[in-house]
Chain A
Amino acid sequence: MNEATLIQHCLEGDAKAQKQLYDLYSGQMYSICLRYCREAWLAQEALQNGFIQVYRHLGTFRQEGALGAWIRKIIVRNCLRVLQREQQHALQFPQNDASTEWAGTVQPQEHMTYESMLKYLDLLPEGYRMVFSMYVLDDLSHAEIAAELDITESTSRSQLKKARHCLMGLFNNEKLITHE
């Protein structure tokens, strides 16, 4: 069953097709939920809310882009909502320029395990991590990030730039420690 047929069957209320769509994307989406929410119960809640919205509004999906990308955006949005509710405070976006402190020349490894990648991301300040994760890993545009986090697009750009510098710095420091 191709994607268009699967969507059609889901819209018609076919329970088997709905389960098939869930099985197809739930693993990838739950991974995203865990990355944002950290806590398994929060991640599960974000996943559930996200998929319910996906099914309810599947008719508005225009099939111009990939279904996976569309679902991913909904899931990310639900993760942020769950986080905002739980944390009860806005994300902090440090304004000091960290690039001079952490700048380095060694590029991070391209072939890195998912767990190693998360280890680096966890070392970033929360604002950097969110913007980097949304832009690089989940393919959201700056406009979308700005709307989600209630910041301006220029803030989103600057946070991404700082997150990149920070990651480079972290990677270089680790290299130095390893070599010593």
Chain B
Amino acid sequence: MNELNSWEKAWRAEAQRHEVTPPPAAWEQIAPQLPQKEKKRRFGFWWWTTAGVLLIGAGVAWALLLPGGENNPSIPVNATSAGTTPAVVQQNQNIQQTTESQPQEPDLAMVSKAGSVNAVVSKATKLQKQKIEHPGPLVPSGSAHADESEKAMQLMVQTTSPKELEATGGNSTEPSAAPKETNQESALAYIMAKDMAPGKPGFKWDKVLCPDFRRKSQLKPFVELDLGMGLPFKQLQATTEFAFLEQRHAEYLQPVLTWHGGVRAGLEIFRNFTLSAGAQYGEYKENFRQVLPGIVKIEITIDNTGPIPRTDTVITRGTLFNTATNTYRLLDIPLLLGYRVGRGRWTAGLEAGALINYRLYATGKTVNDMGQAIIYRESPYFRKQLGWSAQGSVLVDWTLDARIHLYGKAGFRYFPGTWSNRPAVYTQLRYQQAFAALGLRYFL
């Protein structure tokens, strides 16, 4: 509120109270030009983008987390060993052969004390196939599977009833013979499958989706670098001066092109989480069309071919169309938190975080009202300033070897602040950016 004297306040009150009825023709001129229906599409794009990113992320996670259903025959859980299907018998025989070749496997010995159970499901089949193709311990000592087999054994002791043991010839107090190990393998598989197969009794999603904090905490340092391109969406907004806004929109020529490159250092925690920070540099290049009406062009031609020099002058008045350029540079400090899902060579992940930005209007090339070229180094409209942005992305990671990972990611970067910061400018500018990048992560 402006500072006023008492009489000025009274004058303002009087001025704002005073009304004069405008002529009816004024409304008749206004009414036909009014917007009749305004569609609310302002946030539609953002909702669809967010929904799309979430959907892709969920799809990738689903594909990686679910055991392959079609390749793994499903066996009724309550079937007895006598009713085991031929396919299962065949698989059990295969396992018997492999276990005979390595009878000293400690995990299997523990399992053999527990007796037998009735069925296998997809996870079990997967484990058996691994066993057949790669002779050796079914459950490698010291791996994540070793923990699961321990758990399986404990569950076995709790859930196998004496009747079941009798029916299958199992004995809970004496070590079983080799043929019983076939059933014991199935028992292990069943117990594991019971925990890990969706749709089975006792299955819990949280065991799949949440990181396993019971594992030893592993802090694995890494460095990574990535390079990407972006497609920013230019946003213009006006406070009250709409003519400028319309002019800026009219100047729009093509999407802004960007590239960025960065290097980060980070830690992998609990095998699923990553925390990284570093530095990033990016450039935004914008081409736009300047329209300058009322430009006068004077062309003077001197003809020296004759004995007397002749001059011709052509004066043209018209509109000048000029393609102008602006370049912005960004120095960023990203702080990113990642979460990786799935195991194996291909994994998927989500990454989100904040970036501290040092925005720099680098160069601009336009023409003035006289049609003369002007090169800006820095404009009062866009000056150096500190800001921040939020970023979220979905990534797919390919393990090249134990130390080197390659990844590709796609995401969205949101800038809450405006890029033009002169208070008297009524048209404010900012960019929002969709981007894609390729990167390399090296574990130290």
Give the shortest distance, in Å, between A118 (CB) and chain B (any CB). Answer: 9
Chain A minimum-CB-distance residue to B38: A11
In the complex, A154 has a CB within 8 A of chain B: no
A147 to B36, CA, bound (A): 32
In the complex, B315 has a CB within 8 A of chain A: no
In the complex, A12 has a CB within 8 A of chain B: yes
Give the shortest distance, in Å, between B174 (CB) and chain A (any CB). Answer: 81
Q: What per-residue 1/0 map shows which CB atoms of B206-249 lie under 8 Å from chain A?
A: 00000000000000000000000000000001111111000000
A18 to B25, CA, bound (A): 16
Interface range on chain A: under 10, 10 to 19, 20 to 34, or 35 or more? 35 or more
Residues of A within 8 A of B7 (CB): 107-110
- Most chain A CB within 10 A, of B1, B22, B33, B237, is at B22
In the complex, B12 has a CB within 8 A of chain A: yes
Residues of B within 8 A of A48 (CB): 26, 29-30
Chain B minimum-CB-distance residue to A139: B2
Residues of A within 8 A of B27 (CB): 19, 22, 26
User: Taking beta carbons and an 8 Å cutoff, which residues of B are in contact with A?
Assistant: 1-2, 4-8, 10-12, 14-16, 18-23, 25-27, 29-31, 33-38, 42, 237-243, 423-426
A135 to B12, CA, bound (A): 10
Chain A minimum-CB-distance residue to B21: A27
Give the shortest distance, in Å, between A110 (CB) and chain B (any CB). Answer: 4
Instruction: Please tell me if the beta carbons of A30 and B426 are within 8 angstroms of each other in the complex.
Output: no
A13 to B2, CA, bound (A): 35
A164 to B4, CA, bound (A): 11
Residues of A within 8 A of B25 (CB): 44
In the complex, A84 has a CB within 8 A of chain B: no
Instruction: Please tell me if the beta carbons of A73 and B35 are within 8 angstroms of each other in the complex.
Output: no
Instruction: Please tell me if the beta carbons of A147 and B426 are within 8 angstroms of each other in the complex.
Output: yes
Instruction: Please tell me if the beta carbons of A47 and B20 are within 8 angstroms of each other in the complex.
Output: no
A108 to B11, CA, bound (A): 10
Give the shortest distance, in Å, between A40 (CB) and chain B (any CB). Answer: 8
Residues of B within 8 A of A103 (CB): none
Chain A minimum-CB-distance residue to B23: A44
Q: What per-residue 1/0 map shows which CB atoms of A51-95 lie under 8 Å from chain B?
A: 111011101100000000010011001000100000000000000
Residues of A within 8 A of B241 (CB): 77
Give the shortest distance, in Å, between B175 (CB) and chain A (any CB). Answer: 79
Instruction: Please tell me if the beta carbons of A117 and B11 are within 8 angstroms of each other in the complex.
Output: yes
A52 to B14, CA, bound (A): 26
A164 to B425, CA, bound (A): 28
A-B contact count (CB 8 A): 116
Residues of A within 8 A of B4 (CB): 136
In the complex, A15 has a CB within 8 A of chain B: yes
In the complex, A137 has a CB within 8 A of chain B: yes
Q: Can you give 27 A-B contacts (C-beta < 8 A)?
A: A13-B38, A26-B22, A26-B26, A28-B16, A30-B20, A30-B22, A32-B15, A35-B15, A40-B23, A47-B26, A52-B30, A55-B30, A70-B240, A77-B240, A81-B243, A110-B10, A112-B11, A112-B14, A117-B11, A117-B15, A136-B4, A138-B15, A139-B12, A143-B423, A147-B424, A147-B425, A164-B5
Give the shortest distance, in Å, between A7 (CB) and chain B (any CB). Answer: 11
Contact A143-B20, Cβ < 8 Å, known A44-B26, A73-B240, A114-B15? no
A81 to B188, CA, bound (A): 85
Give the shortest distance, in Å, between B344 (CB) and chain A (any CB). Answer: 50
Give the shortest distance, in Å, between A60 (CB) and chain B (any CB). Answer: 7
A73 to B18, CA, bound (A): 17
A27 to B23, CA, bound (A): 10
Residues of B within 8 A of A11 (CB): 38
Residues of B within 8 A of A27 (CB): 19-22
Give the shortest distance, in Å, between A156 (CB) and chain B (any CB). Answer: 11
Chain A minimum-CB-distance residue to B426: A147
Chain B minimum-CB-distance residue to A29: B22
In the complex, A34 has a CB within 8 A of chain B: yes
- Most chain B CB within 10 A, of A108, A137, A138, is at A137
Contact pick for B22, options A44, A110, A144, CB 8 Å: A44
A39 to B21, CA, bound (A): 15
In the complex, A146 has a CB within 8 A of chain B: yes
A117 to B13, CA, bound (A): 12
